Amino acid sequence: MSALANDPAPAPLLRRPTKQARSRGDRPFAVWNYAGFTLFAILCAYPFWYLVVNSISANDLSAAGDIRLFPQGFHLTNYTQVLGLDGLTAAAGVSIARTVLGTAATVLASAFLGFMFTQERMWKRSLWYRLVIITMYFNAGLIPVYVTIKTMGLTNSFWVYILPAVVQPFNVILVKTYIESLPRSLQEAAEVDGASTLRIFFSVILPNTTPILATVAIFSAVAQWNSFQDTLLYITDQKLYSLQYLLYMFINQASSLAQAAQNAQGNLGIIASAATSQTATSIRMTVAVIVVLPIVFIYPLFQRYFVKGIMLGAVKG
C-alpha cells in the first residue's frame, strides 16, 4: 500500500476536442466557402447551359432572345439538320484521328524528354533542356513557321496536325518535375539489374508516372480537339478539314446555312414552322454545343489523375 501511495499520479490523458468544439469556429467559414464555390460553379456552367437550352428550344424564341433558363418548345431538329450537313462525318473522323494520334505522340515525347532531362549522364543535358524551354518565350513568327511547314512538305498533309505539336515545353517541365519527385532508388535498382535506359523508361518510369501523363493527355487532347487554325493555314484539301474548322465555317455562314436548311425543308414538302425552321442563332448554338460536348464527357474521366498529377508534380519532394 505504501509503495502504491508513493507512486506519482499518472499524467492526465489529453482529451481530444469534440467535433462540436472544433467546428464551432469553422462553421461560418465552411458555409461561406461552399456558398462561394457553388455560386462560382453556377456562373461557369451557365454559359454552356444557355447554349444547350437555346439549341433545343423553339428557334423563333431563341432568335428573339426569349430563352434564358429553361427550354421552351422542345425539339431536336437543329441537331438532326446540323449533323446532316455535307462533310461533317469525314471532318469528325479527321478530328478524332488527330486527337488520338496527336495526344499519344505528345504524351510519349513529353515522358521521354522529361525522363532524359533528369539523367545526369545525358550529353549536354542542360543545353538541350534550355533550348527546349526557350521556345516557350520566343518563336520565329507566322510566316517563317509557314515556310518551314511548306518546305517540309506538310501542307495538305494529315501529319501537319501531329508533328508540329509533338514537343510541348510546358508538358516536358511537368513530367520532368514529377519524375524528380520519384525515389531515385527505383532507377538505381533497375541499373544494378543491368536494365538499359529504354528498359528503365518503359518498365520503371512510365508505370509510375500515370497521374502526370494523364494530365498531359488532357492538355494535349483538348488542344488537338479545339484546334482549327492549323487547318486554316496549311490545309486546302476538303478531305482533311477538321471538325472544328468545318464548324467554324458553319458559324461564319450561319445565315446562309439556315436559309439552305429552310429551302431543303420546302423542297422535301415539309411544312417548317417558325419554331423548327433554322435560324442563324440556332445554327450557332447547336454548333457550339457539338464542339464542346465531347470534352465535357471525357474530362471527368481524367479529373482525378489531373488533380493528382498537378499536385504531385508541383512540389519536388
For 29-79, the pLDDT digits (tens) are: 788 888 899 999 899 888 888 888 888 888 877 878 778 888 888 888 888
Same domain, 28 and 172: no
Same domain, 158 and 234: yes
Same domain, 159 and 53: no
Q: Would you say residue 228 lies in a domain?
A: yes
Predicted confidence at residue 254, as pLDDT, reads 63
State yes or no: pLDDT of 120 exceeds 60. Answer: yes
Report the CATH number at residue 163: 1.10.3720.10
Same domain, 71 and 108: no
Same domain, 56 and 128: no
Q: Would you say residue 268 lies in a domain?
A: no
Same domain, 70 and 108: no
* Percent above pLDDT 90 for the chain: 18
C-alpha cell at 246: 468545318
C-alpha cell at 6: 508513493
3-class SS at 193? coil
Same domain, 72 and 138: no
Q: Would you say residue 276 lies in a domain?
A: no
Q: Would you say residue 16 lies in a domain?
A: no
Predicted confidence at residue 6, as pLDDT, reads 55
Residue 43 belongs to what domain range?
23-77
DSSP 8-state symbol, 203 = I
Same domain, 196 and 108: yes
Domain count, the chain: 2
pLDDT band for position 116 (cuts 50, 70, 90) = very high
3-class SS at 216? helix
Predicted confidence at residue 296, as pLDDT, reads 79
Same domain, 107 and 237: yes
Q: What CA–CA distance (Å, rounded) separates 9 from 7?
A: 6
pLDDT digits (tens, 9 = 90+) for 143-192: 888 999 999 989 999 999 999 989 999 999 989 988 988 888 888 888 88
Q: What CA–CA distance (Å, rounded) separates 249 from 260?
A: 15
DSSP 8-state symbol, 117 = T
Burial class (CB in 10 A: 0-12, 13-18, 19+), 257: buried
State yes or no: pLDDT of 12 exceeds 60. Answer: no
